[in-house]
Amino acid sequence: MGTLTAQPVPPQWPEQVRRPGTPEWERSAVAWLLDQVPGEWRAYEVLRRHPTLLARLAAGQVAASLEAARAGWRTLRRDFGRDLPPQVVEEAIAAYELQGARLAELGRRVAAVEEALRGRTWIPGAGRWTGPPGTPPPDRWSPRR
């Protein structure tokens, strides 16, 4: 039986996901990714069988949530500035800002897991991913770059 070697991971790697190359790492990635999407998606076994599809779904879900937070932030004063006290508007803006930052970081974490699920390896000194032989650079094959 061959030995498994933990691969390096980027700084934004989720702590709940085991490092690629360790036992059960893909299972931990699937569990974590399922936690990032609405619970109804757990009913679709195809997402467990094909974790890259799940990663794509999670990336889209996070991107949509981030855009919703940005849109809410942009329009809050216009839509509620006359209806709510200024303090409430400011608190809501602060909440949108915090959620926006959280979602942006979550998007980076999901992207890191997706890269690893696609068989790419993190190169710490270079700060980038490299793929198996024959794979084009990420900017040509991943639509979320």
Quick check: 135 pLDDT over 90? no
Top-confidence residue, 136 or 97: 97
What letter would DSSP give residue 135? Answer: P
Q: What are φ and ψ of residue 130, in 5° steps?
A: -130, 150
Q: Mean pLDDT for the chain?
A: 90
List, for residues 8-59, the tens digit of each pLDDT value.
Answer: 999 999 999 999 999 999 999 999 999 999 999 999 999 999 999 999 999 9
The reported pLDDT for the residue numbered 5 is: 80
pTM exceeds 0.75 for this model:
yes
CB 139 within 8 A of CB 40: no
Quick check: 134 pLDDT over 70? no
Listed residue (36, 96, 95, 106) closest to 69, CA to CA? 96
Split at pLDDT 50, 70, 90, the class of 6 is confident
Quick check: 133 pLDDT over 60? no
